[in-house]
Amino acid sequence: MKENKTFGSVIISISNSVILKIADIENSISMILRKFKYSVIPKYHSRQKPSVTPLQAMALT
Domain count, the chain: 1
The CA distances from residue 7 to 2, 4, 13, 17, 18, in Å, are 9, 5, 10, 15, 17
Question: How far is it, in rounded angstroms, from Cα 51 to Cα 45?
Answer: 9
Condensed to tens digits (0 to 9), the pLDDT of residues 8-38 reads 888 888 888 998 898 898 989 888 888 877 6
**Which pLDDT value is given to residue 40?**
62
Q: Residue 38: give the domain boundaries.
A: 2-60
Distance of CA 36 to the CA centre of its chain: 14
CB atoms within 10 A of CB 28: 10
Q: Record the pTM.
A: 0.41
